[in-house]
Amino acid sequence: MSINLKSLAQQRIIITGATSGIGLAIAEAASAAGARIMLAARNEAALADIRDRLEAAGGDVAILAIDVADPDYAERLAAATLARFGGFDTWVNDAAAATYGTLAQTPIADQRRVFDVGYWGTVNGALTALSHLRLKGGAIINIGSVLSERAMILQGPYSAMKHAVKGFTDALRSEVIRDGLPVSVTLIKPSAMHTPYPEHARNRMPKPAQLPQLIYDPRLVARAVLFAAHTPRRELTVGGFGAGAAVGDLVAPGLLDRAMAAFGTSAQQTDKAPPPGTNDNLYEPRKDGAVESQQPQHVRRQSLWLEAQMHPLGALGIAGAGLGLLAAGLAGARRLR
Convert the pLDDT of each residue in 269-283 to its tens digit: 999 877 665 679 999
pLDDT the model gives residue 249: 84
**Which amino acid belongs to residue 293?**
S
Q: What distance in Å separates the CA atoms of residue 264 and residue 115, rounded to the nearest whole number?
A: 23
State what percent of residues in the chain have pLDDT above 90. 84
Please check whether residue 211 is in contact with residue 192, taking contact to mean a CB–CB distance below 8 angstroms.
yes
Does 158 participate in catalysis according to the annotation? yes
Q: What distance in Å separates the CA atoms of residue 58 and residue 188, rounded to the nearest whole number?
A: 28
Please check whether residue 78 is in contact with residue 132, taking contact to mean a CB–CB distance below 8 angstroms.
yes
Where helices occur in 234-311 by DSSP H, the ranges are 240-251, 253-267, 304-310
pLDDT the model gives residue 329: 47
pLDDT the model gives residue 316: 62
Q: Of these residues, 158, 197, 216, 283, which one is catalytic?
A: 158
**H or E stretch including 190?**
strand 183-190
Upstream peptide bond of 214 is cis (omega within 30 degrees of 0): yes
Domain ranges of the chain: 8-302
The whole model's pTM is what? Answer: 0.91
Please check whether residue 217 is in contact with residue 265, taking contact to mean a CB–CB distance below 8 angstroms.
no
Find residue 186's DSSP bridge partners.
141
Return per-residue pLDDT of the chain as tens, 337 residues: 689 999 999 999 999 999 999 999 999 999 999 999 999 999 999 999 999 999 999 999 999 999 999 999 999 999 999 999 999 999 999 999 999 999 999 999 999 999 999 999 999 999 999 999 999 999 999 999 999 999 999 999 999 999 999 999 999 999 999 999 999 999 999 999 999 999 999 999 999 999 998 999 999 999 999 999 999 999 999 999 878 887 888 899 999 999 999 999 999 999 987 766 567 999 999 888 999 999 999 999 999 999 999 998 855 654 454 445 345 444 544 444 4
CATH architecture of 8-302: 3-Layer(aba) Sandwich (3.40)
